[in-house]
Structure 1
Amino acid sequence: MHSAPQQQCTDDDLLFTRRFSASRRGARLARRAAAHRLRTWGVPEGSPLSDAVTLIVAELSANAALHGRVPGRDFEVRLWCSRAGGPVCVEVSDTHPAPPVCTPSQGDAEGGRGLLLVDALATHWEVVPRTGPGKTVRAVVETATAVTAEARDRDASGEHGSAPRPPSRS
């Protein structure tokens, strides 16, 4: 875990927050929702930033669903970044009080590498307290890319954006 000063979201930042069921389906939906939000912010799908943030959301969400699960409780995903560029912050909160543990994977085992991937992709990551029960795992991905003015305007107006439709062929 790379430690750094705690990041805080400000009123001028772009922000996405959503709760998901603590299940495999919830983790999958969290990844898809994060990828969609990045696109609306002007981060191209398949770009290194999009891939890194989406993979971090996927791994932290899977951990929240698998290890941080408390029956009847959801987990929450928050993404934010400055409108002028800079780091993208990812937070995944669950209601289980135990901190995540990096464990060595077992050879060809399918699991056990999530936090190693987060550690490799994030500039730093940390576990921070949260209001209420549980914990928040925060990862920060540095970028020099600013979101586009169009994406800033879309987000400020509350529109989630979609790809323009191609002209109809008559």
Structure 2
Amino acid sequence: MNVPTPSVLYVASIRLAAAFAAVSLSREFIRRTLTAWELAEQIDGAQLIGSELVTNAVKMSGPAGSHVIGVQLRAAGGSLYVEVWDRDGGTPVIPEQSADAEGGRGLFLVEALSARWDVFCPAAPGKVVWAELPLGQKAEPVYDAEWALAEAAFGQRVLDGVRPVPLGLG
């Protein structure tokens, strides 16, 4: 029997106030995450795509800082996905481009830089706009001794949280 080999999957996400400061914070999140995943060659494209998607999400979220947006990076197999969630259910479209337009080029850039992009509408309110960047190679796990210690500590925290507390102590 052929058993499929699981592909390596990296996932990291951050939630930010829907304010224009989220754009620079998301760029830093993308840079640090991709550096840790040893995918530094993807930083420029992913930051530009992320900046455009986050800018659109902030614009669609209403008054500055009154809502939250989510930014997620996923590396699976041979692709890197930049995903941005906002609470607005509207579907973004690429507007007609004109030489004298002062804006409206964000999704045009996303389309030009990515292998593909689309919108996912979950059962929960809002939407996820995502873009796929080819990695050129499959993502390989990176062993980091410090991160392994952190994972062990997080795992222990979960286990300690589900164990019953003995009565009569203290």
Higher Cα Rg: structure 1 or 2? 2
Is 1:23 the counterpart of 2:19 in the alignment? yes
Give the distance between the partners of 1:156 and 1:104, measured in 2 at CA: 46
What secondary structure, in the 3-state scheme, does the structure 1 residue paired with 2:39 have?
coil
What secondary structure, in the 3-state scheme, does the structure 2 residue paired with 1:20 have?
strand
Q: Sequence identity, in percent? A: 31
Select which of 72, 82, 88 maps to 1:78.
Answer: 72
What secondary structure, in the 3-state scheme, does the structure 1 residue paired with 2:108 have?
helix
The alpha-carbon distance between structure 1 residues 98 and 81, as it changes in their structure 2 partners (threshold 3 A), is same
What secondary structure, in the 3-state scheme, does the structure 1 residue paired with 2:137 have?
coil
Give the distance between the partners of 1:11 and 1:94, measured in 2 at CA: 28
- What is the identity, as a one-letter code, of the residue corresponding to 1:75? I
- 1:14 is matched with 10
Name the structure with the higher helix share: 2
Give the distance between the partners of 1:106 and 1:64, measured in 2 at CA: 23
1:42-53 alignment, distance < 5 Å: 42-44=38-40, 47=41, 49-53=42-46
- 1:61 is matched with 54
- How far residue 108 of structure 1 moved from its aligned partner, in angstroms, is 3.9
- How far residue 28 of structure 1 moved from its aligned partner, in angstroms, is 1.6
* Deviations, residues 102-137 of structure 1 (Å, cap 9, x unaligned): 113453444210000000111111101124211110
What secondary structure, in the 3-state scheme, does the structure 2 residue paired with 1:125 have?
strand
Any stretches of 5+ residues in structure 2 without a counterpart?
1-5, 152-170
Give the distance between the partners of 2:10 and 2:147, measured in 1 at CA: 8
Paired residues in the alignment total 142
1:68-147 alignment, distance < 5 Å: 68-71=60-63, 72-82=66-76, 85-147=77-139
- What is the identity, as a one-letter code, of the residue corresponding to 1:92? V
Q: What is the TM-score normalised by the length of structure 2? A: 0.74
For the 8 Å contact 2:27–2:47, the answer to whether it is kept is yes
The alpha-carbon distance between structure 1 residues 23 and 124, as it changes in their structure 2 partners (threshold 3 A), is same
- How far residue 15 of structure 1 moved from its aligned partner, in angstroms, is 0.8
The alpha-carbon distance between structure 1 residues 131 and 29, as it changes in their structure 2 partners (threshold 3 A), is farther
Give the distance between the partners of 2:7 and 2:135, measured in 1 at CA: 20
Deviates more, 1:70-79 or 1:17-26: 70-79
- 1:5 is matched with none
What secondary structure, in the 3-state scheme, does the structure 2 residue paired with 1:153 have?
coil
- 2:164 is matched with none
Any stretches of 5+ residues in structure 1 without a counterpart?
1-9, 160-170
- How far residue 13 of structure 1 moved from its aligned partner, in angstroms, is 0.9
Q: What is the TM-score normalised by the length of structure 1? A: 0.74
